Each structure stands twice: as structure tokens, then as C-alpha cells.
Amino acid sequence: MRLLHTMLRVGDLDRSINFYTEVLGMKLLRRSDYPDGKFTLAFVGYGEESAHTVLELTHNWDTKSYDLGNGYGHIAIEVDDAYAACDAVKKMGGQVTREAGPMKHGKTVIAFVQDPDGYKIEFIQKKEHYNAAD
């Protein structure tokens, strides 16, 4: 078994695709319209679906926004340098909601940004030797 994808419902598909591809550097892997169901699916990621976990962006044509609720947490992305990743997001007009720095009660450097629909994305700075306790 392996994890295939996480699905996010988005209000403006083109805006979301732009954020994930232009701001976060993912690739648009495929996009399919379903006129009978009035929705479009777009898959984005850092590698092909056959070998990587990806994001499915679902756009229901008649829905402009969603209540994110309080059960969903965030997407996590490993980055070489969380400080530089935050700077790049800001330069592209993205929103940093927690600047890069050590996590509370640990040493791991993290940051949080927010996509156009309000979903949180955590940047976790790459370590040479990963230790889950940090």
C-alpha cells in the first residue's frame, strides 16, 4: 500500500493551480473536466503520480468557497531552507502565517504559509539526520 493523494476542494481552480505551481513549484500533472457532474479535478505534485503522493484539487463549478472546518490540519512539505522558502512565497505574493524558526519544544525549523483558499502548508526544513523527537 501507499498514499496516493490528498484532495482539497478549491473555489477558483486556476488561482489554486497557479499557487501550487508558481509559488510552491509543483507541476500540473493532469486536469479533467466532468461536465455532467459540473466539476473539474486537477492533480499537482513534485513528481509523477506513479511514484509520488500528490494533491487533488477539486473544483465544483457552482461553489466559490468552502468552510474549512476545524478538523483539517495542514499539508507538510520538506524544504532545504525554511527561511528562504518563506521569502520566496512572500516575493510571489503569498501569505506566510508563521515565519520560519524552531518549533516549540523542539529544534526542527518550521514555517507555515496559506494557500488562496485558506489551507495551511507547513514547511519543514530538511535535516541531515531526521529525528522524530526534534
pLDDT of residue 74: 94
Coil, strand or helix: which one is 101?
strand
Give which of 93, 96, 104 is closest to 122, Cα–Cα.
96
Q: Report the distance separating Cα 43 and Cα 91, nearest Å.
A: 25
pLDDT of residue 134: 53
- Domain residue limits at 41: 5-60
pLDDT of residue 129: 44
- Please answer whether residues 44 and 21 qualify as being in contact, where contact means their C-beta atoms are separated by less than 8 angstroms: yes
> Is residue 15 a part of any domain in this protein?
yes
Q: Report the distance separating Cα 69 and Cα 50, nearest Å.
A: 31
pLDDT of residue 68: 87
The CATH number linked to 111 is 3.10.180.10
Residues 52 and 96 in one domain: no
6 DSSP 8-state letter = E
pLDDT of residue 127: 84
Residues 56 and 83 in one domain: no
> Is residue 132 a part of any domain in this protein?
no
**Catalytic residue of the set 49, 56, 122, 128:** 122
- Please answer whether residues 77 and 29 qualify as being in contact, where contact means their C-beta atoms are separated by less than 8 angstroms: no
pTM given for the model: 0.83
Q: What's the sign of the alpha-carbon dihedral 10, 16, 17, 21?
A: negative
Q: Report the distance separating Cα 38 and Cα 59, nearest Å.
A: 9
* Count of domains observed in the chain: 2
Q: pLDDT per residue over 88-114, tens digit each?
A: 999 999 999 999 999 988 899 999 999
Residues 81 and 52 in one domain: no
Residues 51 and 97 in one domain: no
Please list the ranges in the chain whose pLDDT falls under 70.
Answer: 128-134
122 catalytic residue (yes or no): yes
